[in-house]
Amino acid sequence: MLVEDQAEAEFYLQHLNYYRLGAYWLPFESDHSTHQFRPGTDFREVLNLYKFDRELRLLVLDALERIEVSVRTQWAYQLAHRHGPHAHMDASLAFHPDKWSSNRESLEKEVGRSDETFIQHLTNTYSEALPPVWAVCEVMSLGLLSRWYANLKPMPTRSAIASVYGLDQGVLQSWLHHLTVVRNVCAHHSRLWNREFSVTPKHPHKPAILAPQFAQGSRKLYNSLLILLHCMDQIAPRHQWRKRLLGLLEEYTVPVTAMGFPGNWRHQPLWKEKKA
């Protein structure tokens, strides 16, 4: 590997663990067993890839935050209006009572360790096992929200939540599970850009224009980005997230095929700028 500025390399290695940065020079190796690099590999190319991945994680987290808040809101709204303010305490609404019990215990722990003023007010003012659904949703993790939705039994309620995003309820369940994995990768500052996911999202059947845009059989990030784009279009139609993502790809000029991008990706409808 070419290192034109040794002091610069030493500086970054002082702040970036060798094994963390090493994951980003693997694509530049011609022979992994001997750790031989392709001719002309430059340390700054590796650093560029690392910086891109960091910016990508932050951008993905931004979309995930907005999607999580939206689904929390829909989950609370539909449960409260259809099944009452304490519907989350009703085990009959669950496919699996044992999982419901486990999820409730997790929710109780999250409520118990919350320092939110509104949670403290509700727990100190009212004598109830848990605050109303519209309050507890605000302290739920994405993982717990995903598990709770997966175990939600009434099909009209599941479908009402999914319809806000133009999706089938089974697809939304799959997407929430997958996005939880993506979120955990980002939150733990792990490599994202060329990762292969063990939990893959279900391909949507509707809207009809969306389904063909998914990369069939892919475990890479491309399909995850399509999910984020679709959801952002539903919950924040005037968002700039698409533009920011395209700008990031252009700025760092990383090999998008390693992220599962198909050859014709730029011509797909989801990647076209929406008119305000």
Q: What is the model's pLDDT at position 27?
A: 87
Give 94's strand partners. 152
Residue 186 near residue 208, CB atoms below 8 Å: no
Q: Which of 61, 79, 67 is nearest to 135 (CA)?
A: 79
Helix H segments across the chain?
6-15, 18-25, 43-83, 97-112, 117-125, 133-136, 142-150, 155-163, 169-187, 221-235, 241-252
Half-sphere exposure of 143 (CA within 13 A, CB side): 11
Q: Give me the tens of pLDDT residue by residue for the chain, a chain 276 residues long.
A: 888 889 998 999 889 888 888 888 888 888 888 888 899 889 999 999 999 999 999 999 999 999 999 999 999 999 999 999 999 999 999 999 999 999 999 999 988 888 888 888 888 888 888 889 999 999 999 999 999 999 999 999 999 999 999 999 999 999 999 999 999 999 999 999 999 999 999 999 888 888 899 999 999 999 999 999 999 999 999 999 999 999 999 999 999 999 999 999 999 999 987 765
- Tokens encoding 36: 């031989």
> Beta 29-31 vs 36-37: how paired, if at all?
antiparallel
- Tokens encoding 202: 């279900």
Taking the CA atoms of the chain, what radius of gyration do you get in angstroms? 22
Q: What is the model's pLDDT at position 248?
A: 97
Residue 215 near residue 262, CB atoms below 8 Å: yes
Q: What is the model's pLDDT at position 275?
A: 64
Neighbours of 1 (CB within 10 A): 16
Q: What is the model's pLDDT at position 276?
A: 55
Between CA 176 and CA 140 the distance in angstroms is 13
Half-sphere exposure of 252 (CA within 13 A, CB side): 22
- State how far the alpha carbon of 196 is from the alpha carbons of 181, 224, 227, in Å: 11, 11, 16
Helix H segments across 128-269?
133-136, 142-150, 155-163, 169-187, 221-235, 241-252
Residue 135 near residue 122, CB atoms below 8 Å: yes
